[in-house]
Amino acid sequence: MGENDRDELKAKILHLADLVDYQEGAVASRMIVNKPLGSITVFSFDEDEELSEHTAPYDVVVTILDGECEVWLSGETHQMKTGDTIIFPADAPHALSAVKRFKMMLVMIRA
């Protein structure tokens, strides 16, 4: 998706969970904001899909838009469901796994 595609989302009321569809056996994403200081991306995870453990050099805010997932953050496990938000501190190891299919919004702050 290019910048022009993201422009069509500006100045409109959005239902974030509707911006990315579930795809069988896959993780799908749609970046809705991409600026030098940060980005916002909406993801969908089919059941049993995951993001393996990794780190990011910036703080990351994840909000669950639909469904349920399990999150590992610095060795601790957290159960998350629709409406829950967690902040992954910069450089903290984290991972996500779909308990059942779920959608999330990821906000990365680069400054």
pLDDT tens track for 30-69: 999 999 999 999 999 999 999 999 999 999 999 999 999 9
What's the pLDDT at 95?
97
20-32 pLDDT, tens digit each? 999 999 999 999 9
For 3-109, which CATH superfamily applies? Jelly Rolls (2.60.120.10)
- 80 membership: H or E segment, kind and range: strand 76-81
What is the C-alpha separation between 5 and 98, in angstroms, rounded? 28
16 DSSP assignment? G
CA proximity to 109, closest of 53, 47, 34: 34
Report H helices in 1-111.
Answer: 3-7
Q: Are 55 and 94 in contact (CB under 8 A)?
A: yes
